[in-house]
Chains A and B, each alone.
Chain A
Amino acid sequence: MFACRTPGLPTVSGVTEPALAVEARGMTKWYGETTALDAVDLLVRPGIIHGVLGPNGAGKTTLLAALFGLVTPEEGTLRLFGRSRAESGAGWLDGVGGFVETPRFYPYLTGRQNLSVLAGLDGGDAAGLVDGAIELVGLDAAASRKRVRGYSLGMRQRLGLAAAVLRRPRLLILDEPANGMDPAGIRDLRTALRQLARGGRTIILSSHDMGQVEEICDSVTVLHRGRVVFTGGLDVMRGDAPDGTWRLFTSDDEAALTEAGAADEVKAARRDEGGLTVHAAQDKLDAYVLALGRQGIAVRGLEPDVTALESLFFQLTRDAEAPAPEETP
């Protein structure tokens, strides 16, 4: 069993919780015989970045779609900033922006025309935000002269972000937002999301890139076959994580392999492409590297092959029958 605690949330029942950005409880959704969501709880505090992880078909997109009301769960309740859809009507999604799957637009319109259509739907001052949103996502050159049918995946992602900006979102829900983006765009996106969260906005993003999640998320929910197999802070997740796997390059791999055999709780094996694969907890790895130095074996490279969190993620989502999730507070 793994920790299922969302950091910072009160655990005392009967006490009114502070306003949660997202409060989904017991969400269950079936597509025919397939259970897409199985009593999923998702509690997200304002001002954090929360990752939704899982392999393909785990239910990530269905969960995000449910947050937008695109799919209606058969069971469960959902509140965004304390408001339910039944209570707030069409204004339920006020302050919520983002996209599910690849952002889609009218292909016969330009990017700017698409944003104008959406701004018209948003009302208020959204129309006045279109130019700024286009500039913000770096689509200035294409937005007015190119129809969306000619956009690349990365450009559509950026247009999706621009469409979200028009919502003045307090809650950003992004499904694989870095898909199709170039490295500079991904870097900018990560930086912006961190800054937005520091500014008090809440961000929920789905990804199957554990590295990306490790870098920017404060907490995560891991789904497997529609069930929550972990939810909690990354620090909690790291505590539960098994040992990581490392790639080690030395001046004498043969001697390093022999040394690993003598080291405590260190497993090493040759890699076909050169170097060694080392499996060890962090403290054991440190001791092993120091021992190599004492033996006159130079360490030329040491890099994570599978991080501890990746190992945990694979462990959580590999089992044929995932463990039943613990009750979420």
Chain B
Amino acid sequence: MTLAAGRWPAAVPPAGAAPQRSGTLVVYRMELAKLSRQIRVRTIAVCAVIGPFLVVAGFHVQNATPGDTAFGQWVHTSGFAIPMVILGFAAQWIIPGLTALVAGDIFSAEDHFGTWKTVLTRSRSRSQFFTGKFLAAVSYGLALAVILIVTDLLAGLLAGTQPVVALGGQLVPAGHAATLEVLSYASEIPPLLAFTAVGIMLSVLTRSSVAGIGGVIALTFVLQVVTLIDLPGWLQVALPSTPFLAWHGFWEQPAFCTAFWWGLVTSAAWFVVCGGVSWWVFRRRTIGVAA
């Protein structure tokens, strides 16, 4: 190490230095760059891409059908049934968990690695860090949703484009079925973002990735159990997992969107409350240093 002072860059930035970009955008880009280098995120992306095709292959080599799930009995007669079977399972278990892997870790990882005291010594405010990280987690969730929409539909199309029997018993032609499937997958985005906010809140509050990720997964499990109980209607609507089932209304005869709109309100409420709590706590917290 030479460290010769003469080789240090001048203390004052030279004239014409690049103008500063928005701090939030800078943090957002930094988070995306870090996420893209994480093995876990790459693994999730690969699984999301190839998983649906593996499911199609699995159905293809067996005669049995998952008859106890929505669209399950039609997986051998229409390729449009397969994405809906995947959606029915993923919405309950996979999507919250995959969301939590990033959202439940994105703040607490900095605590785990002790890097808050590195990044917060740069000229970026806590608000910018919070917003940038929050947006990065949301972007990850949206990207995950888009990948699932595209790959699930493509995998289904490979299996066939025959009309599919909907939940109301009506036969839905291919073109309309594709539209309904896209809408169904899109309806998962609001609750996905709500679970993202829950994961972020746990990550901020506990400063632990285990609690952040595990907490969301545990919540998902609890909510699945709770739905087996005959809850009051208002409480059922208030659960963050209920909007994951809103797509059922699109496939009924006649179709209805009430569940979707209520799901939108519920998801927005969870998103705002959890995000707000996270913001309030993060802005005021002390970065851990020994006295």
A residues near B, CB below 8 A? 31, 34, 36, 57, 59, 61-62, 65, 68-72, 89-101, 103-109, 113, 117-118, 120-125, 129, 132, 136-138, 158, 161, 163, 165, 167-170, 181, 184-185, 188-189, 191-196, 198-201, 226
Contact = CB atoms under 8 A, between A and B. Distances in A.
24 contacts: A57-B291, A68-B121, A69-B120, A90-B124, A96-B121, A100-B289, A105-B115, A105-B118, A107-B113, A108-B37, A118-B122, A120-B26, A120-B29, A121-B27, A123-B20, A124-B17, A125-B14, A138-B1, A165-B8, A181-B1, A192-B5, A196-B5, A196-B8, A199-B5
| B interface residue count range (under 10 / 10 to 19 / 20 to 34 / 35 or more) | 35 or more
Contacts of B287: 65, 70-71
A120 B115 CA distance: 15
Nearest to B122: A121
Interface string B20-32: 1101001101100
Contact of A168 (B9, B113, B117, B121): B9
Interface in B2-19: 2-14, 17-18
Please classify the interface of chain B as helix (H, G, I), strand (E, B), loop, or mixed, using the class held by over half of its residues: loop
B235 to A, nearest CB: 38
Most central of A90, A97, A121 by chain B CB within 10 Å: A121
Most central of A101, A117, A194 by chain B CB within 10 Å: A117
A31 B285 CA distance: 12
Please classify the interface of chain A as helix (H, G, I), strand (E, B), loop, or mixed, using the class held by over half of its residues: mixed
B33 interface: yes
B11 A195 contact: no
B14 to A, nearest CB: 7
Interface string B121-163: 1111100100000000000000000000000000000000000
Nearest to A166: B9
Q: Which 8 A-B pairs have the closest CB atoms?
A: A195-B5, A138-B1, A104-B114, A192-B3, A70-B287, A90-B125, A36-B291, A121-B122
B118 A136 contact: no
Given A89-B125, A100-B121, 6 more contacts: A34-B291, A61-B291, A68-B117, A97-B121, A101-B117, A125-B17
B3 A90 contact: no
B10 A168 contact: yes
Contact of B118 (A69, A99, A113, A170): A99
B290 A101 contact: yes
A201 B11 contact: yes
B191 to A, nearest CB: 30
B116 A70 contact: yes
A297 to B, nearest CB: 45
Contacts of B34: 106, 109, 117
A132 B13 contact: no
B2 A138 contact: yes
A59 B291 contact: yes
Contact of A117 (B20, B30, B289, B291): B30
Contacts of A105: 113, 115, 118
Contact of A124 (B11, B20, B33, B116): B20
A108 B17 CA distance: 31
Contacts of A158: 1
B290 A61 contact: yes
Given A93-B122, A121-B30, A137 B10 contact: no
Given A125-B14, A199-B5, A200-B11, A31 B37 contact: no
B3 A188 contact: yes
B3 A136 contact: yes
Contacts of A61: 289-291
Nearest to B115: A104
Contact of A90 (B29, B37, B128): B128
A125 B3 contact: no
A121 B37 CA distance: 17
Given A107-B113, A108-B37, A168 B13 contact: yes
B38 interface: yes
Contacts of A122: 122-123
Contact of A167 (B7, B23, B122, B291): B122
A12 B14 CA distance: 37
Given A104-B113, A124-B13, A98 B121 contact: yes
Nearest to A121: B122
Contacts of A185: 1
A205 to B, nearest CB: 14
Interface in B269-291: 284, 286-287, 289-291
Contacts of A90: 23, 123-125, 128
B3 A163 contact: no
A168 B12 contact: yes
A191 B3 contact: yes
B119 interface: yes
B38 to A, nearest CB: 7
A101 B23 CA distance: 26
A200 B12 CA distance: 12
Contacts of B115: 104-106
Nearest to A110: B37
Contact of A161 (B3, B4, B18): B3
